[in-house]
């Protein structure tokens, strides 16, 4: 499990200042990813292993400030990969279109998400 929660945006400023690509945070394979409040904003900085199957992705943003930095991003620009379950709580629902993922249904049927 990879979980991160921060209530003050200043605590994440060094992470958010990272450039995309080579400076991304490599998290490898993750079974459960939970980001809460301002921590949701680091999602575009995470580089998840391309063969990863995430069982559960939980994004909880109880303020619009927690997702404001991602609202201007292109749709499907945040790669998540294969996921069994996605839980978007509060304002995190506003970034659903920004996520690029394949939702794996219980009967192994694939459904492309993020649109």
65 or 51, which is more confident:
65
CA angle 53, 69, 57 (to 5 degrees): 20
109 Cβ neighbours under 8 A, 6+ residues apart: none
pLDDT at 113: 63
The three-class DSSP label of residue 16 is helix
Give the Cβ contact number of residue 114 at 10 Å.
19
Cα 57 to Cα 87: distance, rounded to the nearest angstrom? 6
In this predicted structure, the answer to whether residue 22 has a pLDDT above a threshold of 80 is no
In this predicted structure, the answer to whether residue 10 has a pLDDT above a threshold of 70 is no
Write phi, then psi, for 105 (nearest 5 degrees). Answer: -75, 160
108 or 86, which is more confident:
86
Averaged over 5-17, what is the pLDDT?
54
């Amino acid at each position: 499990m990879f979980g991160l929660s921060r209530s003050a945006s200043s605590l994440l400023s060094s992470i958010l200042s990272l450039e995309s690509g080579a400076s991304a945070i490599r998290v490898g394979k993750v079974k459960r990813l939970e980001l809460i409040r301002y921590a949701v904003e680091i999602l575009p900085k995470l580089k998840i292993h391309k063969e990863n199957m995430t069982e559960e992705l939980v994004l909880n943003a109880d303020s619009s400030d927690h997702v404001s930095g991602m609202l201007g991003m292109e749709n499907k620009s945040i790669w998540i990969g294969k996921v069994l379950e996605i839980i978007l709580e509060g304002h995190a629902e506003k970034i659903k279109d920004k996520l690029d993922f394949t939702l794996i249904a219980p009967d192994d049927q694939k459904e492309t998400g993020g649109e």
